[in-house]
Amino acid sequence: MTTNIAESFNRVLKGVRSLPLCAIIDLTFYRTAEYFRDSGNQAEECTTRFAPRVHKLLDARRAKAQHHRTRIFDRRNNEFEVLCKRRYASAYSAGDTVQQCIVGPTEAKCTCNKPKLEHIPCSHVLAACKDLGGNDGGHYVSWFYTTEALRNTWRPKMHSYAVGSSHKTIEGPNWAPYPATKTIEGIAHRGSSTM
């Protein structure tokens, strides 16, 4: 599933540029309805606590947290210093970096700011949670990333708009193009050369 609206609609509108306007509208509507249906079915089949993408991200961060070392500074406030090894693409050590975390009962703070920006705990917070014992860090994930929120996103249903069944006749003047601009076979357009 794509999270970016523009990317989602690019997929919906793929291959419709050369169609007439009414066909583009029909195709856009039915492809959007199909996208909602498919995404809703995937959300209903989800059995994890969080959306699949968030679940994968948490698993990756937990694996990364296994390599961090933690030092507790204030047991009462659960203030930690987390040492993590940085590695470059060539796999030689680049030295340790230090992050400071405060793990509270309802929120976690870290100097990397990922928990604040993403509303998902970073690997430093997860390493601190591991040291506390019995805390998997899942309650620091925002409710918006839960499977229930994902299902609520795709729950509304789309209904057919029944094209052509309720149009009314338009009353008024019959507009026609300006007669001088009409093309007559064998006569050149105004402004074109007649060689």
Q: Does residue 62 sit in the same domain as residue 108?
A: yes
Question: For position 58, what pLDDT does the model report?
Answer: 93
> Is residue 185 one of the residues assigned to a domain?
no
Q: Tell me: do 85 and 33 sit in the same domain.
A: no
End-to-end C-alpha distance for the chain, whole angstroms? 58
Residues 64 and 111 in one domain: yes
Whether residue 62 sits in one domain with residue 40:
no
Looking at the fold, whether 70 and 105 belong to one and the same domain comes out as: yes
- Containing domain of residue 136, as a range? 52-152
In this structure, the answer to whether residues 123 and 35 fall within a common structural domain is: no
Q: Check pLDDT > 60 for residue 62.
A: yes
Query: What's the confidence (pLDDT) of residue 141?
Result: 93
Q: pLDDT tens-digit profile of 180-190?
A: 766 666 555 55
Burial letters 144-172, b for 16+ CB under 10 A, else e: ebbbeebeeebeeeeeeeeeeeeeeeeee
Nearest to 57 by CA among 3, 131, 111: 3
* Helices 21-45, 147-154: crossing angle, 10 deg rounding: 150
Percent of the chain topping pLDDT 90: 27
Q: Is the domain of 56 the same as that of 146?
A: yes
61 and 96 within one domain? yes
Express each pLDDT in 133-176 by its tens digit. 877 888 899 999 999 999 998 888 777 776 555 666 767 777 76
CA 108 to chain centre: 24
pLDDT for the residue 20: 83
Evaluate whether residue 27 is within a structural domain: yes
With respect to residue 93, please indicate whether it lies within any of the assigned structural domains: yes
Task: Decide if 3 is inside a domain.
Answer: no
Q: Same domain for 138 and 57?
A: yes
